[in-house]
Amino acid sequence: MQQSRQAVSGADGHRKGCFVLSGKIVIVGGRPLRGELPVYGAKNSVLPILAAAVLTSGASVIKNCPALSDVGASLNILKYLGCGVTFADRTVTVNADAACGGPIPDGLMREMRSSIIFLGALLGRFGSAELSAPGGCEIGLRPIDLHLDALREMGARIEESHGRILCSCPRGLRGAELSLSFPSVGATENILLAACAAEGTTRIYNAAKEPEIEDLAAFLIKAGADITGAGSAEIVIRGGKPLTGCEHTVIPDRIAAGSYLAAGAITGGSVTVVGAEAKHLRTVLPIFRAAGCEVTELARGIRIEAPERLTAVKYIRTMPYPGFPTDLQAPLCACLCTAKGTSIIRETIFENRYKHIAALTRLGADISLESGCAVIRGVDSLTGADVEAEDLRGGFALLLAALAAEGRTTVRHTAHIERGYENVCAVLQAAGAQIAKE
């Protein structure tokens, strides 16, 4: 979906100079990775589940939470709203009993890309919400027209002014029949949250089917919500049920898992990604196999054994789940830089998600953008260089290329990477990588 039907205004210029431009990692490449790399709870599940906790009374205990800066940013928003929050040993407890509404300051919203997910929860709990529009970001426009249109259908009044969104529902939220023109993950999540608090039944047609949607629904169902069909294209929510805090263990992060499998693949290594769920990677594992890797599904994770040199993969196209995930496009792009032959990748979800290509080229990759596709002509070897991460997954792709490159690579602006990979240096070091934060 290259163009939004209506882009929400919002400034992005002030991201320059903010925390994501900090951090530096130095890698000396050329060592095959061996050993075990752990994955924890999915970032893209935890963030909406933390927002959902605002709708519950009493304490919710959320287990397998990764220690990521995006999780920290969500917890800061919850604390600002007056929730009791603790985070220790990958377990978050949230008690929203004393929470009160009110505008969420711009600074808190901008610490995390997905903070728009608080919209549905706040409307549901307080009947009003005020927060900043996401505006553009490193991977392209992040429009929210589908979120806002759906909430309007449910009775919300929404004004947009100076990059802020002001929502209220003077007569309360009511269930609605909603057809999404695209199966947006964020819109499906916001609707789920608002619909739990709405009077009556909400049906979402063409809903997103990502495992993280099912996980959010699983949390809400445990809390008392009446939801059927999550994980399919049609979700039914019978709203108005009281929600009480519950205990939930977040599903493993399929994107971190795919990224660490890529680290094994690009270095010609053999690693086990412990905690990975193969059933969430059904369109990803065949790509590694096509590239010449042996991939074994184990009870405790996924093992990959890579050949010395990967083989090119004819064509990868990013698609909504269960298609190949946009979040693994950049990591796979890095893997294929040194594969034998030419690979083609087409990004269909975010128009601007090719920023890693320029940096990969500096490491010696031969990639061109042709008619919206990345054409990757595999080179014999990559060489270390000084590069900058432009976004989370693109940043990880640079670490991958650096692990395979001859010599020393410095990756700057690595705070992007810490948004989605817990202790990335320590994890890769334990598998034999020469990598350190500076």
Cβ nearer to ligand UD1, comparing 43 with 174: 43
Q: Which listed range, 48-56, 323-331, 354-362, 398-406, lies at the site for ligand UD1 (CB under 6 A)?
A: 323-331
Is residue 347 at the binding interface for ligand UD1, with CB under 6 A as the rule?
A: no
Number of residues that make up the chain: 438
d(CA 120, CA 117): 6
Residue 7 half-sphere exposure toward CB, CA atoms < 13 A:
12
d(CA 392, CA 139): 9
Cross-strand pairs, 343: 376
**Alpha helices by DSSP H, 131-184:** 145-153
Residue 80 neighbours by CB under 8 Å, 6+ apart: 104, 105, 108
Q: Is 100 a catalytic residue?
A: no
Provide the b/e sequence for 216-225 (b: ≥16 CB within 10 Å).
bbbbbbbbbb
Pick from 97, 107, 182, 369: which binds ligand UD1 (CB under 6 A)? 182
Rg, the chain, Cα only: 21
Residue 200 neighbours by CB under 8 Å, 6+ apart: 174, 175, 238, 239, 240
Pick from 29, 258, 292, 320: which binds ligand UD1 (CB under 6 A)? 320
Rounded to the nearest whole angstrom, what is the least distance from the CB of residue 10 to ligand UD1 in the complex?
13
Is residue 205 at the binding interface for ligand UD1, with CB under 6 A as the rule?
A: no
Pick from 51, 187, 276, 304: which binds ligand UD1 (CB under 6 A)? 187
Is residue 146 at the binding interface for ligand UD1, with CB under 6 A as the rule?
A: yes
Residues 115 to 144 in contact with ligand UD1, rule: CB under 6 A: 141, 143-144
Q: What is the dihedral of CA 61, 62, 64, 65, to 10 degrees?
A: -120
- What amino acid occupies position 341? G
Pick from 1, 21, 375, 379: which binds ligand UD1 (CB under 6 A)? 1
Give the rounded distance of the alpha carbon of 27 from its chain centre: 25
Pick from 350, 354, 396, 421: which binds ligand UD1 (CB under 6 A)? 350
Q: Which residue is associated with the tokens 């690979």?
A: 343
Site map 275..314 versus ligand UD1, x via CB under 6 A: ----------------------------------------
d(CA 71, CA 381): 37
Is residue 326 at the binding interface for ligand UD1, with CB under 6 A as the rule?
A: yes
Rounded to the nearest whole angstrom, what is the least distance from the CB of residue 66 to ligand UD1 in the complex?
14
Rounded to the nearest whole angstrom, what is the least distance from the CB of residue 181 to ligand UD1 in the complex?
8
Among candidate residues 137, 167, 335, 337, the one labeled active-site is: 137
Cβ nearer to ligand UD1, comparing 210 with 215: 210
Pick from 125, 147, 209, 303: which binds ligand UD1 (CB under 6 A)? 147
Residues 8 to 47 in contact with ligand UD1, rule: CB under 6 A: 44
Contact call for residues 37 and 76 (beta carbons, < 8 A)? no
Residue 107 neighbours by CB under 8 Å, 6+ apart: none
Sign of CA dihedral 400, 404, 405, 408: positive
Is residue 327 at the binding interface for ligand UD1, with CB under 6 A as the rule?
A: yes
Pick from 325, 364, 384, 394: which binds ligand UD1 (CB under 6 A)? 325
Q: What is the per-residue DSSP string for 284-351?
A: THHHHHHTT-EEEEETTEEEEE--SSPBP-SEEEB-STTSB-GGGHHHHHHHHTTSBSEEEEE--S-T
* Count, residues near ligand UD1 per rule CB under 6 A: 21
Cβ nearer to ligand UD1, comparing 143 with 268: 143
Is residue 400 at the binding interface for ligand UD1, with CB under 6 A as the rule?
A: no
Cβ nearer to ligand UD1, comparing 55 with 150: 150
Is residue 151 at the binding interface for ligand UD1, with CB under 6 A as the rule?
A: no
Is residue 248 at the binding interface for ligand UD1, with CB under 6 A as the rule?
A: no
Task: Please give the structure tokens belonging to residue 124.
Answer: 């549901």
Rounded to the nearest whole angstrom, what is the least distance from the CB of residue 348 to ligand UD1 in the complex?
8
Rounded to the nearest whole angstrom, what is the least distance from the CB of residue 146 to ligand UD1 in the complex?
3
d(CA 436, CA 23): 11
Residue 80 in 3-state DSSP? helix
Rounded to the nearest whole angstrom, what is the least distance from the CB of residue 50 to ligand UD1 in the complex?
15
Cβ nearer to ligand UD1, comparing 111 with 210: 210
Task: Please give the structure tokens belonging to residue 172.
Answer: 């309360």
Q: Which listed range, 22-30, 87-95, 318-326, 397-405, lies at the site for ligand UD1 (CB under 6 A)?
A: 318-326
Contact call for residues 27 and 404 (beta carbons, < 8 A)? no
Rounded to the nearest whole angstrom, what is the least distance from the CB of residue 345 to ligand UD1 in the complex?
14
Cβ nearer to ligand UD1, comparing 146 with 169: 146
- Binding residues for ligand UD1 (CB under 6 A): 1, 4, 44, 141, 143-147, 182, 184-187, 210, 320, 325-327, 349-350
* Active site amino acids: 137
